[in-house]
Amino acid sequence: MRLHILGIGGTFMSGIACLAKQSGHDVTGSDMNVYPPMSTQLMQQGITLMEGYDPAHIDPNVDCVIVGNVIKRGNPAMEYVLAKQIPYVSGPAWLAENVLKRRFVLGVAGTHGKTTTTSILTWILAEAGLEPGFLIGGVPENFGISARLGQHPYFVIEADEYDSAFFDKRSKFIHYAPRTLILNNLEYDHADIFSDLAAIKQQFHYLVRTVPGNGLLVCHAQDANLSDVLKMGCWTPVTTFGSQGEWQAKLIEKDGSAFTVLHHHQSVGDVHWNLLGQHNVENALAAIAAAHQANVSVETAIRALSTFKNVKRRLEIKGKVNDIVIYDDFAHHPTAIATTLAGLRSKIGTEARMIAVLEFGSYTMRTGVHKDHLQEALRSADMVVCKGTEADWGLQAVLAKFKQPTILSQDVDMLVRELVPLLQAGDHVVVMSNSGFGGIHHKLLEAIEKCSSKTN
């Protein structure tokens, strides 16, 4: 079939494109401002990517258009599809019908940690020789691609609560029919589509309704919001993880790089791996528990964790110049920001400086929904640098209350010019954004190099 994907550059839709291509379809796509790693992935898969939403991009003989949730009414390509009565479908619906049907689906849902946990679980199944299919909202280093058909029956999917399309406002994960479902955590996010936390809980309740009685829910034991969801109705066995769960961890190293796995308070093995932070330890516990449902032994899972390489844009080191390390991280919610910084702080100690550089990319953050939580989230940083937002919700006033030095710049180039002269050897600069951030990582590294050559 000839397929055209509108919004192909998003992490989810890029994965859909890869699965369609691997299924033997002729795939093209349109989007705006596509950046790595997804642009790189699409090119490597031989998928034609076109800039913008010109209706001329769509082959007159196209069989179906797959519509990403970034597409709205008024989009010229979408208006053309509607006017010409070209068949169209949402990404999640296409996935459910063409890939997930009759497969053993393992889903990973929650506000935070979905991409990492999905990647860990997929790697565990792969190392167990199960050759799982997967669709992940990022590019795991172990696989080098965000989606793969794999072999029947297992398919691991990042189960996102965001809406499916402009014509289907249900959460994506409603389409997936998981047999094993990880519920990592639940907080308020996506203020553009959810009016409050209760609205998100309702969607998670609908998701729980789709899990069969012979399946399994893997749920964080201490998350009160998830407890509320389960109280709304649960027809599936539940296993728990976390400090009060059936699956627990005892840290060997305080930065989370080594820990003992406990099942029903009994030690079942030690993990030594490359990831940092208590949040990633709990992500690993959830993945181990879910893999257990697929008959993967704990011993096999622990062995797999030792070779897990994480996901691009999760504390990914982009470069090191003059002993200044630049990281790229996808964190864009106060909880994710806090846990990311805490994990790095536990690794580098209290003597090294840690500079947080933020772009408020998501609708929730750029409209100031979580402004009252920013100071606490960034408490462990020695300096906080922010790119200004279009909406004036008082960011400057919020930063004025911080105890550590802060910088607020209205564009990326100005931010780089203001920050670089303040950096010193031994600094760790964590750039956090869920968008491309104007290529700031390269600009920082280049500016540090130039600054160094001037002083030498």
Establish if 413 belongs to a structural domain: yes
pTM over 0.75: yes
Establish if 311 belongs to a structural domain: no
| 136-194 pLDDT per residue, tens | 988 888 998 999 999 999 999 999 999 999 999 999 999 999 999 999 999 877 777 78
For residues 99 and 16, what is the distance between their CA atoms, to the nearest angstrom?
10
Give yes or no for a contact between 140 and 122, defined as CB atoms under 8 angstroms apart. yes
Residue 456 has pLDDT above 60, yes or no: no
User: Is 106 found in the same domain as 186?
Assistant: yes
Q: pLDDT value at position 303? A: 96
∠ CA 291-114-196 to the nearest 5 degrees?
Answer: 130
Total domain count, the chain? 3
| 18-43 pLDDT per residue, tens | 999 999 999 999 999 777 777 888 98
User: Is 108 found in the same domain as 80?
Assistant: no
| 277-336 pLDDT per residue, tens | 888 999 999 999 999 999 999 999 999 999 998 776 777 888 888 889 898 887 767 877
Establish if 310 belongs to a structural domain: no
In this structure, what CATH number is given to the domain that contains residue 275? 3.40.1190.10
User: Is 275 found in the same domain as 393?
Assistant: no
Q: pLDDT value at position 453? A: 61
Q: pLDDT value at position 312? A: 66
User: Is 329 found in the same domain as 246?
Assistant: no
User: Is 81 found in the same domain as 130?
Assistant: no
Q: pLDDT value at position 235? A: 96
In this structure, what CATH number is given to the domain that contains residue 8? 3.40.50.720
Mean pLDDT computed over every residue of the chain: 90
Percent over 90 (pLDDT), the chain: 58
User: Is 66 found in the same domain as 46?
Assistant: yes
Q: pLDDT value at position 455? A: 58
User: Is 326 found in the same domain as 299?
Assistant: no
Task: Show the domain range for 257.
Answer: 102-305
C-alpha atoms less than 13 angstroms from C-alpha of 431 in its C-beta half-sphere: 27
Percent over 70 (pLDDT), the chain: 98
| 52-71 pLDDT per residue, tens | 999 999 998 999 999 999 99
User: Is 261 found in the same domain as 320?
Assistant: no
Residue 265 has pLDDT above 80, yes or no: yes
User: Is 118 found in the same domain as 34?
Assistant: no
